[in-house]
A and B are shown apart, each in its own frame.
Chain A
Amino acid sequence: MKNDESPLRPVHWFWFVVATMLSFSAFLLPSEALAQVPARFYWKNLSNSNGVPVIVQSVSGNTNPFDHSAIVTPGANFDVTLALVGYARTFSLHNRATMFAILAPMGRISGDVTDAGRTTKQSAAGFGDPMFEFDINLHGPRAQKLLPDAIRYQPGFSIDLLGDLALPIGHYDSKQSLNLGQNRWYGRIGAPIVWQLGPWVPGRRTTLEFLPTVWLFAENNDFVGKTLKSDPLFQLDGHFTRDLTENFWAAFDTVWFAGGKATIDGVAGENRNNLGLGLTAGYKINDNLGLTFGYKSTINDSAPDALRLNQFSFSLVYGWNSVVEGMNRLKHE
């Protein structure tokens, strides 16, 4: 043993492990378009960690991606540039890994809107409805209250309980149907599932992830002067994710919508039954910063009233934990 290699030399692993725990790919907040959270969103990390995501999306299709009820406007075509900024914090609640997050969408949307046989061009810009999310793990590893918990984290088979609630305070113009804000309360409950397949080693991690959720919507009593009701919408997200290297991963994404029939002044629309597929690539730039790039598209969407969306997304997430930041500062002294 050399004197510059104390018996604690293995402890340098702890830095690496902590860095892995704080890779913050998991802090990617829900993307609005296709209403699907990215893969690896519900991986757990050290309690009292923080994350700030910046997500930019370019979406085209026949539904307003700011509207989670995915109301299809037949024949319409929307182009959306969307940015989302959020904040998330992890903590322990009764020894269970818990996360609270807030997401503020903003951006611009423009498109052709057909109403009563008349097509008009509409656009909107500003803030959408902010959404709060609360997620608590029910089955799986206990909360990572201390660094030893973090280095031992492996999801195994974990199930969370998820609740989202959007506040109807986003920009809304009752004179047009295309809006950023939705002028009604809505939210969802769900059960995120992460199923670890094989070893939990950076470079070799593989997961199968599911998120069954039900979206619930209040009425919008001023939808271009009409009343908009939406039935509960069932959504099932699925991801198969795999590390390609220690810092680079990819996911095959699916999303399925069912139900969610919209009724406008008593005129009922159709229930959704749509399937979307996508790919996501993620890269950990450093211990604090991660990015993803993804593409998703609906399939079997040629019918006029079928949901049609194509989405490119790019995200950058900055994460930190005060203890780890402090240790990093000491390390560089």
Chain B
Amino acid sequence: MKTAVLRSAHGPVRNPTNRWAFLKQSGLMGMAAALATPAFTFAAEPHRPPNIVIILGDDMGYADMGSFGSEIKTPNLDSLAKDGVRFTNFYTNPTSSPTRSVLLTGVDSHLNGLGNMDEWAAPNQWGEEGYEGYLNNSVVTLPQLLKDAGYHTYMVGKWHLGKAPNQIPAARGFERDFSLLDGAGSYFDMTNFTAASPRSVYTENGRYLARLPKGYFATKTYTDKMIEFIGANHGDGKPFFAYVAHQAPHDPYQLPRSWRNRHVGEYDKGWDAVRQARLKKQVELGITSSDTQLADRMWFVPDPIVLAPVARAVLGKKMELYAGMMENLDYHVGRLINYLKKIGEYENTIFIVFGDNGAEGTDLFQMLAGAPGTRNYLFAANKWAQTDINAWGDPGSYVAYGPMWAQVSMTPFSQYKGWVGEGGIRNALIVSGPIVKRPKGSINNGLMHVADLMPTLLEVAGTTYPKAYKGTEVPPLIGKSWGPMLAGQADSPRTNQDYMAWEIFGNHAVRQGDWKIRWEYESIGKGKWELFNLAADPAEKKDLAVERPDKLGEMIAVWDTYAKANNVILPNRSMFETLKDQLPPRVPVDPGYPPANYKQQFVPPKDMMANPK
């Protein structure tokens, strides 16, 4: 195996001679080895393991489902929560393709090829193993292992893990697929975002599509295809693994007209009021404790109270569309649920629902097409210029809701996608089905990670993670099985000594027990380590780095361990590298300041009023 060379934009990271050997030295390999032999066996039907359906929402926020506090109507997703368990401490990676890579391999993204997103790989990461920008050949995938265990393996939706013939879903274990290989694109056609890559690329069952089916709308078509896949083999006695990787609700918010006007005017009250309402509901539902505080509004986001009604209406319209995206997604999830009930498979199906990262607060379209005179701008003028407010949602329109609503989606947390604040990495998780023995509708606060899916689902399938696959040694898993926890035998798959760590675009963080450190680019971050106690401060409002240097030091050591073990090369370029110069200077967010903007008209006592003499 090639020796990994660890580099850092912020300083050298020591280079182990062999990172897997390092894992063994650090004791982490023992954990992975233990996982390879299931200590816990799921109680499934004796004759057939349960079906598995993973429903992945793209950029779906922590608080966007009704069962997690949203006013958005998601009855079908909520029905899964009612039948299953909600998890409040579930983590993904901060962005899309890294999360998907970890989901499908159980291996850290810096080892499996998605050390950085393909679109933003830094020069010092180019050519490095683990940073290929696609699922590399060192890993074996969940569908490959499930297929070997006797499962049908189906995928629909967004892949984002490589486009070459040896990288597409059919090459990585999916028996049937209908997949968008890109990270995003139009919901109605094959239009993509840049002049260099103007067309989205799709595959169906391993063949690249020359065109899309008639009447294509992403969320609907994906659901149609998955129902078709399941139906085609239903009755042959084999269970199925269905990876339903919806594009929704990722921007651009495009959806049929009938779904666009379900919340007209509802968001004119502004993001602060909606965040407060969601927090209140989260407390009522038991998602969070009554003493939870909202994260500060981002300092560059205005208090909606000071905005003109028309400004709130225009910005609220974006959230109306987002809500429509969520409700349309929920509707199609409901179609799949109903189909499984109809064919008698629902009771023997595990549903796992979550979003791939925090809600999107960055203006992706502006980043791609924002500079007049560029070819991307010209491309956008030709393909993405349906900018009238009444065209929002149409093909050719690009609407994203911005940081203010992203914070709403991530209530009560700070930050959003691409960042390692809780708002970038913590997501809502629902698990239901025959493996869940906890009380229906209950809530669990155990520490969980997307990497846990591989060991968990291999156990469900009655198989194990191999040391080598088809003659090639495979990297160790970093996750922990949920088996005992789902069975009600433990409250968390992790102890207070286990850690989880994240890195993307140079932003990085570690959580161990209740403690978390994070390093982020300025001005959203501080450009230095911050320390938080998440049990007391889930919104990460109080940086304890100065107050608790001892704990900070401990946590930095944990980060170093993680980085060395997992081939982390901090990038020498980042999409956020000039953010400090682009954002207004960071100032505290003090509600009611300045008073000049809030003090109401003085009305003198009536009996003291007089006309001039």
B-binding residues in A (CB < 8 A): 1-3, 5-11, 13-14, 16-18, 20, 146-148, 150-152, 154, 199-204, 246
Specify the chain B residue showing the minimal Cβ separation from A1: B363
Q: B362 contacts A14, CB within 8 Å?
A: no
Residue of chain A at shortest CB distance from B400: A10
Q: Is the CB of A7 within 8 A of B390?
A: no
Contact in complex: A151, B584 (CB < 8 Å):
no
Chain B nearest CB from A141 CB (Å) reads 11
Q: Which of B300, B302, B389 has the most CB of A within 10 A?
A: B389
A150 to B308 CA separation, bound complex (whole angstroms): 14
The reply to whether A7 and B402 form a contact with Cβ atoms under 8 Å apart is yes
- Which 4 pairs show the lowest CB-CB distances between chains A and B? A148-B313, A147-B310, A201-B391, A2-B582
**By the criterion CB–CB under 8 Å, are A200 and B582 in contact?**
no
Closest to A20 in B: B388
Are B363 and A5 within 8 A (Cβ)? Answer: yes
Flag if A3 contacts B390 (CB, 8 Å): no
Whether A1 pairs with B300 at a CB distance below 8 angstroms is yes
CA–CA, A203 and B362, complex, Å: 30
CB within 8 Å for A199 and B391 given contacts A2-B582, A3-B584, A7-B402: yes
**Interface contact A1-B366, CB-CB below 8 Å:** yes
Q: Is B257 an interface residue (CB 8 A)?
A: yes
- Known contacts A1-B583, A16-B388: A8-B308 contact under CB 8 Å: no
Residue in A1, A5, A10, A204 whose beta carbon sits within 8 Å of that of B315 in the complex: A10
Chain A residues near B309 (CB-CB < 8 A): 146-148
Q: How far is the CA of A8 from the CA of B391 in the complex (A)?
A: 19
Given contacts A1-B362, A5-B366, A147-B309, contact A200 B314 (CB under 8 A): no
Which single member of A7, A16, A150, A199 contacts B302 (CB below 8 Å)? A7
- Decide if A7 touches B301 in the complex (CB within 8 Å): yes
Closest chain-A Cβ to B272's Cβ sits at a distance in Å of: 13
Q: Which residue of B lies closest to A17 (CB)?
A: B389
In-complex Cβ contact of B307 among A8, A154, A202 (8 A): A8
Please name all residues of chain B whose beta carbon is closer than 8 Å to the beta carbon of A246 when the two chains form the complex. 388
Q: Which residues of B contact A202 (CB under 8 A)?
A: 388
A7 to B318, CA, bound (A): 12
Instruction: Give CA–CA (A3, B308) in the complex, Å.
Output: 21
Q: Are A11 and B390 in contact (CB under 8 A)?
A: no
Complex CA–CA separation, A203 to B307 (angstroms): 30
Partner of B300, one of A6, A16, A20, A150: A6
B residues in contact with A3, CB < 8 Å: 581-584
Judge whether A10 and B582 touch: CB under 8 Å: no
Check: B403 CB closer than 8 A to any chain A CB.
yes
User: Are B582 and A151 in touch, CB under 8 angstroms?
Assistant: no
- How far does the alpha carbon of A11 sit from the alpha carbon of B317 in the complex, in Å? 11
A200 to B391, CA, bound (A): 8
The reply to whether A201 and B311 form a contact with Cβ atoms under 8 Å apart is: no
Chain A residues with CB under 8 A of B312: 148
| Bound form: Cα–Cα A151–B320 in Å | 14
The docked-state distance in angstroms from the alpha carbon of A246 to that of B268 is 27
Across the interface, name the chain A residue whose C-beta is closest to B401: A10
B265 at the A interface (CB under 8 A):
yes
Residue among B314, B394, B403, B404 making CB contact with A17, cutoff 8 Å: B314
Q: Contacts A1-B366, A148-B309, A151-B313 given; indicate if A201 touches B318 (C-beta within 8 A).
A: no
What are 29 contact pairs spanning A and B, CB under 8 A?
A1-B300, A2-B582, A3-B581, A5-B363, A6-B302, A7-B301, A7-B402, A8-B311, A9-B363, A10-B314, A11-B314, A13-B314, A13-B387, A16-B387, A16-B389, A20-B388, A146-B309, A146-B310, A147-B310, A148-B265, A148-B268, A148-B310, A150-B310, A151-B317, A152-B264, A199-B390, A199-B391, A204-B391, A246-B388
- Alpha-carbon distance between A277 and B357 when the two chains are bound, in angstroms: 60
CB distance from A78 to the nearest CB of B (A): 44
A5 to B387, CA, bound (A): 17
Is there contact, CB below 8 Å, between B394 and A201?
A: yes
Chain B min CB distance to A4 (Å) = 8
- Residues of B353-382 at the interface with A, using a CB-CB cut-off of 8 Å, are 362-363, 366, 370
Instruction: Report B-chain residues with C-beta under 8 Å of the C-beta of A147.
Output: 308-310, 313
Say whether B391 contacts A13, CB under 8 Å: no
Chain A residues contacting B366 (CB-CB under 8 Å) are 1-2, 5, 9
Does chain A have a CB within 8 A of B191?
no
Chain B residues whose C-beta falls within 8 Å of the C-beta of A7 in the assembled complex: 300-302, 315, 402-404
